[in-house]
Structures are given as C-alpha cells and as structure tokens.
Structure 1
Amino acid sequence: MALLEVNNLDVRFALRQGDVRALRDVCFSLDRGERLGIVGESGAGKSVAAFSLLNLIARPGYIAGGSINFDGHELTSMSDRALRKIRGHRISMIFQDPMMTLNPVLTIGEQMIECLKAHRRISSREARAISLRKLEQVQIPSPDKRLDHYPHELSGGMRQRIIIAIALLLDPDIIIADEPTTALDVTIQAEIMALLLELCEKHNVALILITHDLGVVSQVTQRMLVMYAGRVIEQGPTREIINDPQPPYTQGLMNALPQMATPGSRLNQIRGSMPSLNKLPSGCAFHPRCDFATRPEGELRPACVDQVPQFVDSGNCQVACHMVAEMQQAERIPVEEKQ
C-alpha cells in the first residue's frame, strides 16, 4: 500500500460570481522513500495541490471532494487538532521564501526548540541538542553559533538550509518542497537540491518537489506529474517523460528549455498564456494554445474543443490528451484489419 494516495481531489475557491475550481480530479500516489516532481506553468495548480495535502488552503478556498489517504488516515475529514499532530511531524513542508517562513523576532534555536517541544515531551536542553545535530546534517558552519542568530543575520542559502533542518527535525515520512530554491542564485540552488536529495535518500524520506524547472526534476525525482489549469495531464517515470514527452503541452515545456534553442536564436515558447480558472476553455483546456487542436485545413478538431480528454496508458505513463489517444487508435486499426 502506498504511503500517500490522492484520489479525485477537487479544490475550489468560493467567489461572489461562483465557485472556481483550482484542482480537478487530481490523482497520484507516493511510496515511502519515493521522490515525486510536480511541474507546470504558474497557475497550473502545483502549490494548491501541495497545500491541500495538509489542508492549508486559506479561505475562501476549500476541499470540495476527493480523498487524501496518508498511511491509512483520511486527511480530508480529519479535525484540525488531529492534523496538527501530522503537520510538521509526519509531513513537513519547505516553502518558497525562507524569510516568510522564519520568525524574524526569534532566534533560530528558539524556533527549532519550539517546534520540537510542540510535538515531543522533551526538555529544552534535549531539544537544543537535536537542533544542533540537524544543523550539522544540513552542513551549517558553526551550528552552535547559528542557533543564537536571527534570520536576518544569515544569507539566503543559509536560511534555506535551516528551513530544511526544521523540516527534518521530527524525522517526517514526507517532505513537500514548494519551489525551495526560487530566490537563490544558480550555484546555491544546485547545492540546496543536492543536499535535499542526499538527506531524503539517507533517511528514506519521501519527497514531493514542486517546481517549474524540468532540469531539477530530471535530476532529483523518480516520477513526475505535469499539471495544466488545475488538472494532471501526464504522469509517469521522470526519465520516460523527459525523454519522450507525449502531450503537446509537455513537449512545449521541454522545448522551452534554454538548451533546446539554437545558440543566438530566440528561445522557444508556448504561445499564449495559462487561462483564467473562472474562464476555462471547453473540452481540453490547452486547445487554444495547442497546434494539434487545429487541423491542416485550419479547422479545430471537435474532440479537442468539446471533450475533456481522459487518461490513456502510453508506455509506463498515463496521458490525458486526444492526440495521444488518436495516435494509439491509428496504430491499432491496421492490426484489427489484418485479423
């Protein structure tokens, strides 16, 4: 049985003009020690999916349907008091901006000790010793001195290492990392991701990595989800998706990587932009931006405009795309005629 199973997750935001669906029928699973990447453009629903796992969706957002089963416990129906025993303890989260995560008026040591004592009955001395060991694990220089520093006295890379140390304080089963290297320079990004990968492998911690950087996903994760307009459109082994992206959207993301462009030429990009969630196109939400949705003679394909694509198996991946379904159908027809 998977450590985490998400089935048909539906998240909405109640607005005056009506509910807006931020997530639609999101399904995935995560095994113990597995590393899963969630990718997509801004507005695809990546962070909403992460926050939903711990029911951290702020009002007017709410979980409208679906199931989130963690180690046999249904999180969607769990009380706030019960959830507090899981948040930060069995499931930890690393947020985008460490300065927004750390309390600026408390020292690093005070914040780490407070976190430990909220979940365990231990003395302040024991909590400080554990905090010191965790800072050593994330390769903080002079960790005993850093415990008495305030967040503003540390560099961005140092603060992010401390956030990782806090996430590991209570030996969680899952770490959710939401764009953990957004505000850092390229060199520090590589160091932080290498550290996070090493710690997850060493302690057999499952990782959900949310990012728009396909290069990072290819190096760190074993499986990945591609999201668009609140829906998963492709999922499967990372290597298989990176090497052979199936839907036009995933192909567009791959082609937009700088290394895919000819030196000196303009970077490739997906035309148009992500649609507003309260004005989603009919059928496949990507069809206004998709080259496949328009036939050579200039007409739109009825299936792309009228029908929401259902998942089909393609190799070891699951893909929600009419193009892939049509290609599979075209491959099957000659075989059936021969029979």
Structure 2
Amino acid sequence: MNLLSVSNLNVNFHLKGQDLAALIDVSFTLNRGERVAIVGESGAGKSVLGFSIVNLIDKPGYIKSGSIKLDNKEITKMTRPQLQEVRGKRIAMIFQDPMMTLNPVLTIGAQLVEAIRSHTRISFKDAKNIAIEKLHSVQIASPEKRFHQYPHELSGGMRQRVIIATVLLLNPDIIIADEPTTALDVTIQAEIIQLLLDICRNNSMALLLISHDLGVVSRIAERTIVMYAGRVVEEGPTLEIINDPQHPYTQGLLNALPQMALPGQRLNQIVGSMPPLNERPTGCAFHPRCPYATDQCRQQQPGFINSGVSTVACFMVEDMLTDTNSDYDEEID
C-alpha cells in the first residue's frame, strides 16, 4: 500500500468572480522512504500541490475535487484536530525562506521546544535534550550555544539547518521540501541537499522535493514528476527523465541548465512564459511555446501514454510510438 496517494486532485482559486484552476487532475503516489521530485517553472502549481497535501490551501483557494490519502486515510475529509495530528507528526514541510518560518523574537531553542511540547507531553528538560540532539544531527556546530541564539544571529545555511532540525523533531513519515536551497549560495546548496539525502536514507523518511532545478533534482530524487500549468506532463525515474526526456517542456527545462551551454555562450531558454491561471490556452497548455505544436495540440488535451519506463502527455510522442509500432508490425508480417 502506498504511504501517500494523490488521485485526480483539482484545486481552484476563486478570483474576481471566476473559478480558476490551479491544479488539474493531478495524480501520483509516494512510497515509504521514496524520494520524489516535483519539477516545473514558477506558476506550474508545484507549491500549491505541496500545500494541498497538508490541507493548507487558504482562501480564495480550495480543493475542488479529488483525493489525498495518507495510509489510506482521506486528508481532505479530516477535522482540524485530525489535521493537527498529521501536520508535523506525519507530514512536515521545509520552506525556501527560513526567516519566514522562524520567529525572529524567540530563540532557536524556545521554538524547537515549543514545537515538541505542542505535540507531546514531556518536560522542558527532555524537550531541550531532543532539540539539541536534532541540532547536532543536522551538523550544526555547538548546538548548545545555538539553542540560546536568535535566528538573525545565524547564517542562511545555518537557519535552513535549524528548519530541517525542526522538521525532524517528531520523526515524520514524509518531508515536503519546497525549494529548500533557492536562497542559498551554491556551496551551501550542495551541503543542504546532501543533508536531506542522508536524513531520508538513514531514517526511511519519504521526501517530496519541490524544485525548478533539474540539476538539484538529479542528485536526490529517485522519481521525477514534471508539471506545467497545473498539470502533470511527464513522470518517470529521474535518470530516465534526465537522460531521455520525452515531453518538449522537459527537454526545454534540461536545455536551459547552465551546464548545457558552452563557456561564453548565451544560456538556452524556453521561449515565452508560463500562462497565468486566467489565460490558460485550449488544448495542450504548452503549445504556444512548443516548437513541435500542431493543430491537434492547440485543440485537444493529450492523454497519458507509456513511453519506455516513463509516462508522458504529448501527441508528438504518441505519434512517434504509433509509427514505431506500425513499422515493427510490418517487419513481423
């Protein structure tokens, strides 16, 4: 049985008298200890998906339909007390800006102890010992000293380690990391990614990594889900996605990586931009930016097909597979 199962999830935002779709028929699963990445540009729906999983979509957003199950228990139907048991204890989130998460007027220790004691009935002393142990586990030097410091006294990388330590306090089954390295320099990014990888491996925790950077994803995720304009357009093993991307959008994301350009050469980019919610085109939403778009792409939404070990929603790939199968059948005849 899957640890987390998302089925046909639709999330809307009610803005200026319109119901605008932010997520459309999103489905995927996450197994215990598995590391899955959600990839796409800003506006693809990645963060909305992350917040939906823990039922934290604020108005004017709302879950219109679909299912989100944790151990076969429906999260979308849970009461506030039931959600309190899920958030932090079963599913925890790491955000890209730690200063938006940490309280600037409380010490690191006060915040860690409060997080522990809000979910468990233990003494301050025991909670302090757990907090210091978790700070040590995320490779923070002198954790006893950091316990008494305020967030502004720590570097950006150190603050992100504190957030990871906070997430680990209650030993959750799933960590949702929303662009956890965006605000950090390259060296610190690598350290944080390696730390997340080690934590998940050592504790059998599942990881849902939300990112726009396929370079980061390639280092940590076993499976990758590519999103565009609120829909999943490709899903498969990360190595397959990186080495043999099927969807033109995935190909564009990979070609835009800095290492894909020669020294002194201009970086590649996907022409155009992600459509806003109220201007999503008919058919395949990527067709205005796709070099292979046809009239069919402009008029119809492609369904999912299997291509190797990946699944992809693209008429071009479907036509290529159909032609290949036809040629194969003719050879057999």
Separation in structure 2 between the aligned mates of residue 169 and residue 289 of structure 1, nearest angstrom: 44
Counterpart of 2:304 in structure 1 is: 311
Counterpart-to-counterpart distance in 2, 1:324 and 1:17: 38
- What CA deviation, in whole Å up to 9, does each residue of 1:87-126 have, x standing for no partner? 0111000011000100111111111111111111111111
Query: How do 1:294-333 residues align onto structure 2 when only pairs under 5 Å count?
Result: 301-333=294-326
Q: Output the TM-score relative to the length of structure 1.
A: 0.96
Residue 51 of structure 2 aligns with an amino acid whose one-letter code is F
Q: What's the CA shift string for 1:291-332, capped at 9, x where partnerless?
A: 101xxxxxxx22101110100001111100111111011112
Provide the rounded CA distance (Å) in 1 between the counterparts of 2:216 and 2:183. 15
**% identical equivalent positions:** 63
In 1, the alpha carbon distance for the partners of 2:124 and 2:72 equals 33
The corresponding residue for 2:62 is 62
Distance 2:262 2:162 in 1: 40
Counterpart residue identity of residue 320, structure 2 = M
Partner of 1:264: 264
Match of 1:297 in 2: none
Cα distance in 1 between the residues matched to 2:275 and 2:42: 11
Which residue identity is paired with 2:106? Answer: L
SS at match of 1:292: coil
Q: Secondary structure at the match of 2:176?
A: strand
CA distance in 1 between partners of 2:37 and 2:289 (Å): 24
Question: Secondary structure, in 3 states, of the residue corresponding to 1:64?
Answer: strand
Q: Partner letter of residue 331 of structure 1? A: T
Correspondence list, 1:1-339, <5 A: 1-293=1-293, 301-337=294-330, 339=333
Amino acid at match of 2:326: I
- Cα displacement string for residues 176-226 of structure 1 (whole angstroms, at most 9, x for unaligned residues): 000001111111111111111111100110001111111110010100100
AA matched with 1:229: A
Report the Cα distance in structure 2 between the residues aligned to 1:290 and 1:65, rounded to whole angstroms: 30
Deviation at 1:130, TM superposition (A): 0.4
2:316 is paired with a residue whose SS is: helix
Give the whole-Å Cα distance in 2 for the aligned partners of 1:287 and 1:90.
39
**Secondary structure at the residue paired with 1:68?**
strand
Deviations 1:58-105 (A, max 9, x none): 110000010001112100111122101110111000011000100111
SS in 1 for 2:285: coil
Distance 1:235 1:119 in 2: 36
- Could you tell me how far 1:229 is from its partner in structure 2? 0.2
* 3-state SS of 1:116 partner: helix
* Separation in structure 2 between the aligned mates of residue 220 and residue 144 of structure 1, nearest angstrom: 30
CA–CA distance in structure 2, aligned partners of residues 278 and 16 of structure 1: 10
Distance 2:268 2:183 in 1: 24
Q: CA RMSD in A?
A: 0.9
Residue 194 of structure 2 aligns to a residue in which SS? helix
| Aligned counterparts of 1:99 and 1:258: Cα–Cα separation in 2 | 28
Distance 1:46 1:64 in 2: 17
Distance between the aligned counterparts of 1:116 and 1:335, measured in 2? Answer: 61
5+ residue gaps in structure 1?
294-300
The amino acid that maps onto 1:60 is P
2-structure distance, mates of 1:303, 1:121 = 60
CA distance in 2, matches of 1:26, 1:225: 10
In the aligned structure 2, how far is the partner of 1:86 from the partner of 1:138?
Answer: 23
Cα distance in 2 for partners of 1:254, 1:189 equals 19
- For 1:134-163, what per-residue CA distance to the aligned partner results, in whole angstroms no more than 9, with x for missing partners? 001001111011111111111111100000
Aligned partner letter, 2:310: C
- Structure 2 CA distance, aligned partners of 1:247 and 1:87? 34
CA deviation after TM superposition for structure 1 residue 281, in Å: 0.7
TM-score, normalized by length of structure 2? 0.98
Deviation at 1:16, TM superposition (A): 2.0
Amino acid at match of 2:223: R
Q: How big is each residue's C-alpha offset from its partner over 1:240-263, in whole Å with a ceiling of 9 and x where there is no partner? A: 010000011100011111111122
| Gap regions ≥5 residues in structure 2 | none
Amino acid at match of 1:304: C
User: Secondary structure at 1:21's aligned position in 2?
Assistant: strand
SS of the equivalent of 2:118 reads helix
